[in-house]
Amino acid sequence: MSGTVLSVSHSTEYRYSTRVELAHHIAHLTPRCDDHQRLEQCELSIDPPPNELRNGIDAFGNTRSFFSFYAPHERLRVQACSRLRMLDRADELDPSASPDWEAVRDSLQYRAGTPFVPASEFVFASPYVPRDRELAQYARACFEPGRPLIEAAIDLMHRVHADFRYRPASTEVSTPLLQAFRARTGVCQDFSHVMIGCLRSIGLSARYVSGYLVSGGAPDRPRPVGAEASHAWVSVFCPMLGWVDLDATNDAIPERHHVTVALGRDYGDVAPLRGVIRGGAEHELIVAVRVSELSASDQRGGGNEDGTPGG
């Protein structure tokens, strides 16, 4: 099978100032497998070893890992190493050929006696993404009457990218969407939440995508914003095309160099690692992400320089 082979290493370490006596964690660290992305291998390493560990599938089809500790510990390190084969999209996207956005909006509204459209679940507000008149007004500049949905959505992506400044550490997970929207600054999570809020506020279905970007860019390709960290982008629903991904942070339509890990309503559904602990007091967090393209020799070998299993 042809395609681009990528290795992913995502390490998260917590160093606690006092011992943690009890802890329960949930992780979304296993990449998805779909028509464009084939997961060939994934290994989750946890130190210290948990007392309980199990995997399951959540309501959005993501792999979710649960693990618990009943013994005291002063640090926690979780590393996910994956290998994926990235394939081209089946068809070249023609934004102008998509249906007009108002027809799609109307098809997502509930009507008695009509078939249920699963994508309509992503029209509603979610914990991190409200529907708001201010967001709708911002979107309307791109969504003119009768305009093709994907053409307008790409225009909205261009506008968010141009109007907002990417600034690391300028916001936190808890920063309200409207605060980031009015400040016109944030990180990839904010760019994505703003765009999702705009789309939902005019009645369209949009979901949050968490994943990674290839760390090293080719000489003729600029280095993407958000590499060497967890990344996020948006997926908008179009009846003819299914879900179409758009990366407002990089003003790009994701292809082989975007690795999808999980899908949800917003960040809260797909956080890479979260949990509840007793003890710990203050903590230091260290995160390291590395995504690289494997050469033919790396694919045949037994391992990679970053420690990701190979072959």
Q: Is the pTM of this model over 0.85?
A: yes
Domain 95-254 has CATH 3.10.620.30: yes
Coil, helix or strand at residue 74: strand
Q: Nearest 5°: CA angle at 89, between 191 and 301?
A: 95
Position 221 scores a pLDDT of 58
Question: Distance (Å, rounded) from C-alpha 241 to C-alpha 263?
Answer: 18
What pLDDT sits at residue 259?
95
Q: Cα separation of 252 and 259, whole Å?
A: 14
Domain coordinates in residue numbering, the chain = 4-87+270-300, 95-254
| Cα 237 to Cα 225: distance, rounded to the nearest angstrom | 25
Distances in Å between the alpha carbon of 234 and those of 33, 210, 303? 18, 9, 33
226: closest CA among 192, 263, 180, 274?
192
> Which listed CATH number (2.60.40.2250, 3.40.50.1400, 3.30.70.330, 2.60.40.420) goes with 4-87+270-300?
2.60.40.2250
In angstroms, rounded to a whole number, what is the distance separating the alpha carbons of residues 66 and 122? Answer: 25
DSSP tally for the chain: helices H, then strands E: 7, 13
- Using alpha carbons, select from 207, 187, 213, 186 the residue that is nearest to residue 62: 207
CA distance 16 to 25: 15
The distance of Cα 209 from the centroid of its chain, to the nearest Å, equals: 3
Per-residue pLDDT of the chain (311 residues; tens, 9 = 90+): 678 999 999 999 999 999 999 999 999 999 999 989 999 999 999 999 999 999 999 999 999 999 999 999 999 999 999 999 999 875 678 999 999 999 999 999 988 888 899 999 999 999 999 999 999 999 999 999 999 999 999 999 999 999 999 999 899 999 999 999 999 999 999 999 999 999 999 999 999 999 999 865 555 556 678 677 899 999 999 998 999 999 999 999 998 889 999 999 999 999 999 999 999 999 999 999 999 998 765 666 544 333 333 32
How far is 272 from 261, CA to CA, in rounded Å? 9
Please tell me the chain's helix, strand, coil percentages from 3-state DSSP, rounded to the nearest 5: 20, 40, 40
Asked if 7 and 291 touch (Cβ cutoff 8 Å), the reply is yes
Residue 193 has phi, psi (to 5 degrees) of -60, -40
Confidence at residue 166, expressed as pLDDT on a 0 to 100 scale? 95
Cis check: omega of the bond before 272, within 30 degrees of 0 = no
Angle separating helix axes 188-201 and 133-140, nearest 10 degrees: 90
